[in-house]
Structure 1
Amino acid sequence: MSIGVSLLFCINIVCMPLKCYFTELLWTNPETFRPPAIFPEVASEFNRSTAKRYVTQLQLVYNNTTIPAHRAYHYDATHDVDVMRTVMTSSDCDRPPLQLLNDILGIVYFSTDLKLDLVDRLCTNASQDVARLWRVNFIDSPAFISALWVVSGQNDLDSNNSTIPTDSNVTTVYVLFIPDVRTMSWRYTKLAWRLLLCLSLAVLIVTSYICPLWQLKGNLERYAVVAPSPVSQKGSNERRRRVVRYNVVVGEPSCFVLTKPWVCIAFAADLLASTLYVAQACLRVCQTTSLLHFALGTLYLGRTVWFSYTALASVNVALKRWQKCHWIRPANTTVLAIAAGVVGGTITNVQGQWPPILQVYTWLFMLHSRQDTNQTMQMDSIFVNLVFAMTMCYLPAGVVGGRAVCRRLCTVRGGVDLVFHGGSIATLFALHPSFQAHCTLDQRGGDCYVCGFDATDVMVTITRVACIRGQLDMTRVTIDSDAPANRVAVGSLTISSANGPLVVTFRRGVDDCLWMA
């Protein structure tokens, strides 16, 4: 059972670079998948008049006859376009303008002038034309295009597409999200990069975890997991002598992969090269009318956890250099990944419902923008992306702090530690964090439990063993090379500080085993 779970973790890690294709445009789509005959080809530079012409063409493609009824959020897979529709009535104008705008799907990418004109159009001047089209860049590189127009006197979410009298002041606000079409060479380059990353992760898992597991298995077939100890209780040593075979409950290799800085940097770079899909994911999690696209957006934003892992890798280097490992408690990788999903999805949705936060994001977008006759034509998302990335970098601090609070409030402690032997490396790290190779990441997920069975097939011992590769800072440990050859499967630690400074001595298991109890 444990092997199956561990295998699922391995497959999940190896396939992780390709998960983005649940959302991203596949490399098989040609650059001309949006036919210019029916879909407007927007120029890299456009002004107010050409923008209106583009919107007129888009209105022919997306309207109440081409979009299924009752669908407020629609994804056009043919053209890779997200379409949002919001029905507004005259009673909505009784609320403050920010709350009125907050109900419109897609507002997160509205400019300041568009918000003002849209409120005026909905509540004051029904004849005003607010049709807009604007581009959002990332460091002056095109990311996506958004478009907006308003249809008067009609509820386009009505199942019968019926026209409502204009005196009812019912309007439908259309908002489009159109990702930029990348070149085929760019998409194939990203695919090659991701496939290379998959291969590298597979090699890393095999060399850092599966090979040591295979060595542990071979040693346990020939030797006892640990030698009888003269200081152990008599019953404990007797149980160890009765063991005739061992079963290993294996851990999972995620912690060994995440401690490699190059892996974190590679994923973070891939994410920065895909900011237009991050923007699309943020748009999708700001609505709940389409739960499928909300889930896809949450899944994609979960990738931003690599900013957290990159920050932890950087902090680890600094703390090791300054010998300040005791300043921080290691973060649990699984909890961190779950927290990233919550922050990326749920928290983004909550922010999308809070007008003051939306105003802050609008201000960040407008810091680098271009206007034509008082209408915003272009905005840049660099500052928004920096804020989001920094938020994810600080996420581990919140996770570790929350875990410390939970431990302080929890009244049940220590129950599990009484049922197994071993785990000395965890004790060493708790007392002396400087002996950790990576003091910012908790690597106990890779630990294994060796269960010993007697001749009657009854489990009599449980020993927790940890792989020292990538966990123990061997530069601070004394290797007991003068000791006689061990005839036990795994190594052991001896900690001494009676006659001076702390001395940690490591005695290897047979065949220089990488595991220790």
Structure 2
Amino acid sequence: MQQLAVSAKPVVVHVGLHWTSLVVSCLFTLNLVAMPFYFYLHMPIIPVEEEAVPGVNSTRAYVTSMQARYTPRLANQVYVSDVHSGIIALRTDLSSELLGLCDDHKALLVSRIQGSVFFSPSIQAMTIEFVCGKNHTNVDALWGHYYFGVHVANSVLWSSQHGDVSTICYLFDPFVHYWTCSILEFLSRVFLSGYIAHQCWRYFYDPVAQLFGDLRSNPQGKTCRNVQLVIGEPTSLVVSNAWIVLAFTMDILLHPGTLGSATLRLIQPFDVWGGVLGSLYFGRLVWVSYAALWLWNYLYKHSARLSPVSCTVCAWTTTVLGVVLTKIDFIWTLALQLFMAMFNVHQAVEAIDVTFGTIVSCVLYGLVPFGLAYVEGTYWRLCWAKINPTSFNGRAHRLAHGDVKLRFLTWLYRVHNKQDDATKSDRGSIYKLFAMDERSQRNATVSQNSTDCYVRSLSATMHQLDVARVSLASRIKWHKDMSLTFQSNLSTTSVLGELHVSEASDNSSSGPSVTLVGAKNALWVQ
């Protein structure tokens, strides 16, 4: 009887991308690439003057010119934003019902006037005299805004009386550069945008492409029919780059007039889109927080055990904090009076100096991420009592799953099995190394977890069989105290390795012993 040798057909494994994760990752990248141009939501690329404006030295002519230009536009509107020059004009009508505030609540009366956050003390007194009837002459005033001794903006105020209604118009005129400087600034932002795109591709998407190509040529698993690559996003890589952080921070500090425009847009209650633009600009102040985190990581990352801060949580916290503080009128009024009393290099009656206020604001935003790190550390101590946060396993679990954005994205992508979520999500040998040796983290202050990708093994019915969490090897900082050995493994891919970490003896002051199984120059570790 002839026996026929039947060879088993090899299992065909289909390797594909998780398209939802790819789209979300691209949206995060587009936001990063477009971020340098958010400045132009408040300022024109090249300012265009509709007509010649008299010099500031001619105070009366300057006020008259602005009054003639914007009074007709404010006749039917209470909020005007000039996209050609960056000027913001606001109108306030005070009826006789508010005159009862003249006796005991003058500060509250002034706060009802749009733009009063930038009134100098003399302008406030002049306005109260006009509104309360002590001075029947219309108010025409001009005062400057100074920043480190440089004249950066003008404020203009004029008033009129119509029966029992007092109308007060306020105009904020931030100085913009000449067209040559404006073009150079625009080109510098184009360069910064291109540099961000280059960093995203070189340090994230190119390794992802190599991982995907290697998985297609070397599919993981023998029983699965499908392999799916879930892609992370590169925001944390960008906000950890020193040059990008420096560029955004300097862009904010060198344009105080834009911050003044954003403040007025956020405070005024008439235009919803203007309020959104103001909120977006205050969101840019998160780069001051990123700068503080980078500086702390550079100087003290080995001596301070702070929880890594999620860049998305930090951005939202900074935006909400800026919006809330700006909306509280008495805080701005009190702060302005304090800044004027403590720091006014010009000692001019009709001038305000915003230098000290800007410094205090930057310090406040710089402290935000450290407050978040403290809150997150407290959360892990209170809510995860079953995992000892001071133990090795507790620290590894906190580092692997402390990023709120990552937890949301893995839930959105349905990466983990519902029945075995804990064991499936604890993969990632890199976090064991970080928990054992803090010096091995290249960036210990900004959470890099969102750059992690997941390799899912799926059955023919697309049921998840297994999931492997892979992290960028560039997150590891190899140092001289670390005992590092390599062990080749033909079953692994050429871009993917695995770390085996063993703790050093108690009597030894050296770092842990690490064995990298797989390719020596692996881009990813699992």
Tell me whether the two structures share a fold, i.e. TM-score over 0.5.
yes
Q: CA deviation at 1:288?
A: 1.8
1:145–1:177: 8 Å Cα contact kept in structure 2? yes
Decide which of 237, 250, 253 is 2:231's aligned counterpart.
Answer: 250
CA distance in 1, matches of 2:80, 2:385: 49
| Paired position in structure 2 for 1:85 | 91
| Paired position in structure 2 for 1:131 | 140
Q: CA deviation at 1:197?
A: 0.9
| Paired position in structure 2 for 1:186 | 181
| Paired position in structure 1 for 2:411 | none
Decide which of 57, 70, 90 is 1:62's aligned counterpart.
Answer: 70
Q: CA RMSD in A?
A: 2.4
CA distance in 1, matches of 2:204, 2:40: 28
| Paired position in structure 2 for 1:400 | 373
Check if 1:337 corresponds to 2:342. no
CA distance in 1, matches of 2:270, 2:381: 40
Check if 1:15 corresponds to 2:34. yes
| Paired position in structure 1 for 2:129 | 120
Check if 1:207 corresponds to 2:199. no
| Structure 1 unaligned blocks of 5 or more | 154-165, 226-239
CA distance in 2, matches of 1:456, 1:114: 74
Relative to structure 2, which stretch is displaced further, 247-256 or 472-481? 472-481
CA distance in 1, matches of 2:429, 2:456: 17
Check if 1:379 corresponds to 2:357. no
Deviation track 1:165-220 (CA, whole Å, cap 9, x = no partner) reads: x3x3x201110011213111211121121111111111111110011112211232
Decide which of 92, 104, 118 is 1:109's aligned counterpart.
Answer: 118
CA distance in 1, matches of 2:459, 2:426: 17
Deviation track 1:236-272 (CA, whole Å, cap 9, x = no partner) reads: xxxx541344211100001111111111001111122
Written as runs of structure 1 = structure 2, the 5 A alignment for 1:176-325 is: 176-223=171-218, 240-320=221-301, 323-325=302-304
CA distance in 2, matches of 1:429, 1:305: 26
| Structure 2 unaligned blocks of 5 or more | 1-19, 387-400, 402-419
CA distance in 1, matches of 2:425, 2:346: 65
Number of residue pairs matched by the alignment: 465
Decide which of 57, 77, 82 is 1:76's aligned counterpart.
Answer: 82
| Paired position in structure 2 for 1:368 | 344
Report the CA distance shift for 1:152/1:68 in structure 2 as closer, same or farther (over 3 A): closer
Q: Which amino acid aligns with 1:104?
A: I
Written as runs of structure 1 = structure 2, the 5 A alignment for 1:449-468 is: 449-455=454-460, 457-468=462-473
Q: CA deviation at 1:61?
A: 1.9
Report the CA distance shift for 1:504/1:103 in structure 2 as closer, same or farther (over 3 A): farther
2:429–2:500: 8 Å Cα contact kept in structure 1? no
Report the CA distance shift for 1:200/1:315 in structure 2 as closer, same or farther (over 3 A): same
3-state DSSP class of the match of 1:9? helix
CA distance in 2, matches of 1:141, 1:176: 20
Deviation track 1:396-452 (CA, whole Å, cap 9, x = no partner) reads: 022223334444565799984333452222343345433211111100010111101
CA distance in 1, matches of 2:311, 2:140: 47
Deviation track 1:296-353 (CA, whole Å, cap 9, x = no partner) reads: 1111121111111111000001114xx3142x11110111111122123233222xx2
CA distance in 1, matches of 2:303, 2:128: 54
Deviation track 1:263-291 (CA, whole Å, cap 9, x = no partner) reads: 10011111222221111101211222211
2:473–2:522: 8 Å Cα contact kept in structure 1? no
CA distance in 2, matches of 1:368, 1:121: 26
Written as runs of structure 1 = structure 2, the 5 A alignment for 1:388-427 is: 388-407=361-380, 410=383, 416-420=421-425, 422-427=427-432
1:329–1:440: 8 Å Cα contact kept in structure 2? yes
Q: Which amino acid aligns with 2:65?
A: Q
Report the CA distance shift for 1:391/1:75 in structure 2 as closer, same or farther (over 3 A): same
| Paired position in structure 2 for 1:42 | 55
CA distance in 2, matches of 1:299, 1:179: 18
Report the CA distance shift for 1:392/1:437 in structure 2 as closer, same or farther (over 3 A): same
CA distance in 2, matches of 1:8, 1:381: 36
3-state DSSP class of the match of 1:512? coil
Q: Which amino acid aligns with 1:338?
A: W
Relative to structure 2, which stretch is displaced further, 4-13 or 483-492? 483-492
CA distance in 2, matches of 1:206, 1:505: 29
2:309–2:373: 8 Å Cα contact kept in structure 1? yes
1:324–1:434: 8 Å Cα contact kept in structure 2? no
1:147–1:177: 8 Å Cα contact kept in structure 2? yes
Q: Which amino acid aligns with 1:332?
A: S
2:138–2:160: 8 Å Cα contact kept in structure 1? no
Q: CA deviation at 1:499?
A: 3.7
1:224–1:488: 8 Å Cα contact kept in structure 2? no
| Paired position in structure 2 for 1:484 | 488
Report the CA distance shift for 1:13/1:412 in structure 2 as closer, same or farther (over 3 A): farther
CA distance in 2, matches of 1:301, 1:347: 11
1:449–1:463: 8 Å Cα contact kept in structure 2? yes
Q: CA deviation at 1:455?
A: 4.9
3-state DSSP class of the match of 2:456? strand
CA distance in 1, matches of 2:311, 2:94: 44
Q: CA deviation at 1:85?
A: 1.0
Relative to structure 2, which stretch is displaced further, 71-80 or 190-199? 71-80
TM-score (norm 2): 0.82
1:285–1:345: 8 Å Cα contact kept in structure 2? yes
3-state DSSP class of the match of 2:45? coil
CA distance in 1, matches of 2:84, 2:25: 38
| Paired position in structure 1 for 2:21 | 2
Relative to structure 2, which stretch is displaced further, 387-396 or 83-92? 83-92
State the percentage of identical aligned residues. 25
TM-score (norm 1): 0.84
Check if 1:94 corresponds to 2:100. yes
CA distance in 1, matches of 2:50, 2:283: 29
